[in-house]
């Protein structure tokens, strides 16, 4: 007698190792059908942005190869997830669908409905955990409430055993016969039509092999100097694992275990990095417990903040034409590589929401569209933190001084030179403040302010004061 097929529905867990849904399916005895369904309309206004889709294309290609090696071709579908799953159930006579959970509010709602619908059809529907070390509903403070401050959250996590990676069973699986039709990857049209992504392949290897190499390259060296060098954008001091984590080519459990196995924690280093993994967990904790936060401030006091939306200011920021070199370098790094160094993300965010008084949601949306590591939980947490309106927010008076940040963290100006070539010939002394450079220095460097490079979009002192005034005004309004 033939066994029924089990469908593995891949989503943001585009890997073979440490994949509970795949592992469970391989224990199921019957044929296994891996499927990915591209359903951007179901993402609740957070369909993958352009950079994320570019990565997704390559991640799917890589996953397809890895599954092929197991003898399980990946089937691609497009459109309604429930319809596609039902079609595949019918085509393969499947009796089970397994997947790994996602935590975005719209996806939780969709998946809950799909699970019920499949059960009503008489199909076993099961979801596992591939995306987090500690799931949001397992974690609460002593009052039984969700945490709103990182440090107690992190202290609490350290009292809990971390989930460990799942290993695949040593069983051979077969694909269903006949195999259902698959769309061609290209037909999903995930790659940009204009030539915007030209610089991405130079920076990234968006494959499973690339994920593994990036993890080990980080653990073989940079992790030991992470605490100091992670703030210097000109250096490769950070892990650069975020896009692999965002697409599930690496799971946080794997990263956690690898950091420990590398001995970095025992050497005293590594701990700071693990706390960054915990920040990712904190982002998901907040997203699940406060599901309105991708759209609205967590803090009630910021719901009617006197933002001053200004299309021209927003556009200057997006294009990297604010006249603040460190900010413009960051925005251009983002555009050209789909990624921005974390220190610089804070600086550009501070300028947008404080000096320019633009709604943080506009910045979050631009990051969403342009980051290869776009992740709703981390993006929301980061922007609400910068705007001061979220959990464990930056204090209102923390208004970054873009010149000081540049001088502190890019002292030689190498980061600015790399991404703002029109300033490349300025000496380090003036590279973060070109408007204060003597005329002769500017002339020699070939810089004409207002022509080859803009004047600051707003003076630092004036922008800072306007932000403080808006914050005072907000306090009067709300409270």
Partner DNA sequence: TTTTGAGTTGTTCGA
Partner DNA sequence: GTCGAACAACTCAAA
Q: Which of 346, 353, 423, 457 binds DNA (CB under 7 A)?
A: 346
Of 204, 279, 317, 385, which residue is the catalytic one? 279
Query: In angstroms, what is the minimal distance from the CB of 145 to DNA?
Result: 5
Nearer to DNA, 22 or 353 (CB): 353
Residue 474 catalytic?
no
* 342 touching DNA, by CB under 7 A: yes
Question: Coil, strand or helix: which one is 369?
Answer: helix
- Check if the beta carbon of residue 283 is closer than 8 Å to that of residue 391: no
Q: Measure the CA–CA gap between 78 and 60, rounded to whole angstroms.
A: 13
* 464 touching DNA, by CB under 7 A: yes
Query: In angstroms, what is the minimal distance from the CB of 79 to DNA?
Result: 37
Beta bridge partner(s), residue 310: none
DSSP line for 436-477? GS-HHHHHHHT--BTTTBPPPSS-HHHHHHHHHHHHHHHHHH
CB atoms within 10 A of CB 184: 7
Q: Which of 400, 415, 419, 453 binds DNA (CB under 7 A)?
A: 400
Of 360, 366, 385, 419, which residue is the catalytic one? 360
Helix (H) or strand (E) holding 341: none
* 462 touching DNA, by CB under 7 A: no
Beta strands in 116-241 (DSSP E): 124-128
Contacts 24+ apart (CB under 8 A), 423-431: 423/325, 423/447, 423/453, 431/325, 431/406
Of 276, 296, 407, 422, which residue is the catalytic one? 276
- Check if the beta carbon of residue 320 is closer than 8 Å to that of residue 421: no
Q: Which of 11, 24, 354, 460 binds DNA (CB under 7 A)?
A: 460
**Interacting stretch for DNA, rule CB under 7 A, among 67-75, 180-188, 252-260, 456-464?**
456-464
Of 99, 134, 307, 385, which residue is the catalytic one? 307
Whole-Å CA distances, 400 to 4, 326, 457, 477: 60, 12, 15, 25
Nearer to DNA, 141 or 452 (CB): 141
* 459 touching DNA, by CB under 7 A: no
- Check if the beta carbon of residue 71 is closer than 8 Å to that of residue 173: yes
Q: Measure the CA–CA gap between 25 and 36, rounded to whole angstroms.
A: 15
Query: In angstroms, what is the minimal distance from the CB of 216 to DNA?
Result: 23
The residues, any chain, with a CB within 8 Å of residue 243's CB and separated by 6 or more, are 55, 204, 206, 338, 339, 372, 373
Nearer to DNA, 3 or 478 (CB): 478
Query: In angstroms, what is the minimal distance from the CB of 471 to DNA?
Result: 9
Whole-Å CA distances, 212 to 63, 221, 412: 13, 15, 32
Q: Which of 124, 396, 422, 449 binds DNA (CB under 7 A)?
A: 396
Which 144-163 residues touch DNA, going by CB under 7 A? 145-152, 155-156
Backbone phi, then psi, for 10, in 5-degree steps?
A: -80, 145
Query: In angstroms, what is the minimal distance from the CB of 3 to DNA?
Result: 47
Which 277-306 residues touch DNA, going by CB under 7 A? 279, 301
Query: In angstroms, what is the minimal distance from the CB of 477 to DNA?
Result: 13
Beta bridge partner(s), residue 8: 34, 98
**Interacting stretch for DNA, rule CB under 7 A, among 40-48, 177-185, 213-221, 341-349?**
341-349
Residue 360 catalytic?
yes
Residue 279 catalytic?
yes
Q: Which of 119, 213, 319, 398 binds DNA (CB under 7 A)?
A: 398
Q: Which of 182, 205, 401, 433 binds DNA (CB under 7 A)?
A: 401
* 273 touching DNA, by CB under 7 A: no
What distance lies between CA 275 and its chain's CA centroid?
Answer: 16
Residue 335 catalytic?
no
Query: In angstroms, what is the minimal distance from the CB of 275 to DNA?
Result: 7
Q: Which of 49, 270, 320, 382 binds DNA (CB under 7 A)?
A: 382
Query: In angstroms, what is the minimal distance from the CB of 337 to DNA?
Result: 20
Q: Measure the CA–CA gap between 422 and 225, rounded to whole angstroms.
A: 32
Nearer to DNA, 190 or 326 (CB): 326
What distance lies between CA 409 and its chain's CA centroid?
Answer: 23
Query: In angstroms, what is the minimal distance from the CB of 196 to DNA?
Result: 28
- Check if the beta carbon of residue 375 is closer than 8 Å to that of residue 242: yes
* 405 touching DNA, by CB under 7 A: yes
Question: Coil, strand or helix: which one is 395?
Answer: coil
Which 122-141 residues touch DNA, going by CB under 7 A? 141
- Report H helices in 39-181: 50-69, 81-92, 105-120, 150-157
* 24 touching DNA, by CB under 7 A: no
Catalytic residue set: 276, 279, 307, 342, 360, 383
**Residue ranges that bind DNA, judged by CB under 7 A:** 141-143, 145-152, 155-156, 231, 276, 279, 301, 342-343, 346, 382, 385, 392, 394-401, 404-405, 408, 460-461, 464, 475
């Amino acid at each position: 007698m033939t066994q029924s097929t089990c469908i593995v529905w891949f989503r943001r867990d585009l890997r073979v190792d440490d994949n509970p849904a795949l592992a469970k399916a391989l224990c199921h005895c019957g044929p296994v059908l891996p499927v990915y369904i591209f359903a951007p309309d179901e993402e609740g206004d957070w369909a993958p942005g352009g950079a994320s889709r570019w990565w997704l294309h390559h991640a799917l290609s890589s996953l397809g190869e890895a599954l092929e090696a197991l003898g399980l071709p990946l089937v691609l579908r497009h459109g309604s997830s429930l319809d596609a799953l039902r079609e595949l159930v019918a085509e393969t006579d499947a009796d089970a669908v397994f997947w790994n959970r996602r935590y975005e509010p719209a996806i939780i709602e969709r998946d809950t409905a799909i699970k019920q619908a499949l059960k009503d059809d008489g199909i076993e529907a099961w979801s596992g955990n591939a995306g987090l070390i500690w799931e949001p509903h397992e974690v609460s403070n002593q009052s039984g409430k969700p945490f709103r401050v990182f440090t107690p959250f992190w202290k609490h996590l350290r009292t809990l055993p971390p989930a460990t990676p799942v290993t695949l069973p040593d069983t051979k699986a077969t694909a269903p016969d006949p195999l259902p039709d698959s769309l061609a990857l290209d037909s999903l049209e995930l790659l940009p039509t204009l030539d915007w992504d030209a610089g991405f392949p130079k920076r990234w290897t968006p494959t499973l092999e690339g994920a593994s190499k990036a993890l080990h390259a980080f653990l073989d060296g940079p992790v030991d100097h992470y605490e100091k060098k992670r703030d210097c954008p000109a250096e490769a001091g950070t892990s650069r694992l975020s896009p692999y984590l965002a697409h599930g080519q690496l799971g946080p459990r794997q990263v956690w275990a690898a950091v420990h196995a590398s001995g970095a924690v025992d050497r005293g280093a590594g701990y700071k990095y693990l706390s960054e993994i915990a920040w990712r967990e904190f982002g998901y904790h907040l997203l699940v417990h406060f599901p309105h936060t991708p759209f609205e401030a967590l803090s009630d006091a910021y719901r009617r903040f006197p933002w001053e939306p200004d299309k021209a200011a927003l556009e200057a920021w997006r294009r990297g034409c604010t006249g603040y070199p460190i900010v413009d370098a960051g925005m251009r790094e983002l555009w050209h590589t789909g990624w921005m160094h974390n220190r610089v993300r804070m600086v550009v965010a501070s300028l947008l929401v404080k000096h320019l008084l633009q709604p943080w949601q506009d910045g979050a949306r631009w990051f969403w569209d342009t980051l290869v590591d776009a992740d709703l939980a981390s993006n929301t947490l980061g922007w609400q933190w910068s705007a001061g309106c979220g959990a464990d927010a930056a204090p209102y008076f923390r208004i970054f001084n873009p010149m000081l940040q540049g001088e502190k963290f890019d002292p030689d100006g190498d980061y600015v030179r790399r991404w703002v070539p029109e300033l490349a010939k300025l000496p380090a002394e003036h590279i973060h403040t070109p408007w204060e450079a003597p005329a002769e220095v500017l002339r020699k460097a070939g810089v004409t302010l207002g022509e080859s490079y803009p004047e600051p979009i707003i003076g630092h002192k004036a922008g800072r004061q306007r932000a403080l005034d808006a914050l005072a005004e907000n306090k009067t309004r709300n409270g």
